[in-house]
Structure 1
Amino acid sequence: MVKFSVLLFTILSLNVFGADKIILASYSHGSPVIKLCEEKVLAMYKKANIEVEVRRYTMDRALAEAKAGRVDAVLGHPLGTESIITDFELVGGTLTKLEFALFAPKSKGKNLSDYKIIVLRGMPYVEQTLEKLKINFDTNSDANAIAKLINLKRFDATIVSLDSYEWAKGLIPGLKQVSPVLAQFDIRHYISTKKPEIIKKLKASILSP
């Protein structure tokens, strides 16, 4: 009977403590914007006394992990991402506002169709913007691989947020903005609706002084 009681207590304890822990999908390319969003999101969870395990993926893999239910939260994605990864709810305010433009080491003029463009895979909102503008592009999941392909002159340009320009220029020497802002998005934090207690606790913490 004593052994059974100890076992039951252990199981209940695991359930209770497990409820206050989440797996957060962040992004492996580590731009300053990503680091800023991580700091803000982790601070929110710390205030709410929720333990976080951060797993860093390429952006497309992070979305895939969320869709498969293998992570509980996605660091930051534009407002409307709940239509891409269903069963996720945005929690908290805007982490940052991002403006995206075309960047290239060498200008080929104002006609964006003259550029051979490669985009970081996992940013469907950017891809949709280019598709609406009827601009052809390729994708790659690795930011370093994109930089290498542009440096080797296999591609002319890529889409970068203005906030990430200095970081991107470190990967692609001579990089400069060659288009006006093509799209802008509010970046928000998303949590799986399968974690209702986490959502409730985090929202309460955000509202508390």
Structure 2
Amino acid sequence: MNFVYFKNSLRDFPVFSITDIRAAYGGFDRRRLSEWQKKGYIKKIIKGHYLFSDVDIDESTLSAIANKIYKPSYISFETAMSHYRLIPESTYMITSASTRRTSLFETPMARFSYRTIKPALFFGYSLLPGGIKMAFMEKAILDYFYINPAVRTADDFASLRINREEMLSRVNKERLTDYVQRFNHKRLSKKMKHFLGWLEYA
């Protein structure tokens, strides 16, 4: 198969999988992928997932990769908080929530971490351009505290280096209250009250 034709047919897929290829070309010869890797046309992310070599590895691309290689998942925790400028930017690892088991993928682009949440808690994300699933700011914070029960004191909160002014000016308290109720977790609810008090008065 001609690579130019192949690339044009998948131009809407910044990240593509064997499944995507087979949906478009039922009889695709997988040996072409090895050939195109050797020629530097495409890059392998993990088994069965690739991207074109000329794609810029920016936040959008890393987010698309995170959503694609482990489903169902959405970006949350530290990466989402960084996206909303609540904590300093960190590019060494992309953190996501998933209903599947906790996993970590080491790739040439970045490390991709997935933490398990209950199916009932798989909510609270929006779709960014390109269909990227990103937790709302309020959900990212709740997810983080939920999987990090040891983070509960004022010193713990301070260690996160939260941008207080940014959060207080942007937090949707109605959404946050709704999400806390949906978690139905007394300790988490108590922790969030403590955290919000720390934000406002510390």
- Range class of TM-score, shorter chain: under 0.3
Normalising by structure 2, report the TM-score. 0.27
Normalising by structure 1, report the TM-score. 0.26
| Structure with larger RCO (C-alpha < 8 A, sep 6+) | 1
**Higher strand residue share:** 1
**Higher helix residue share:** 2
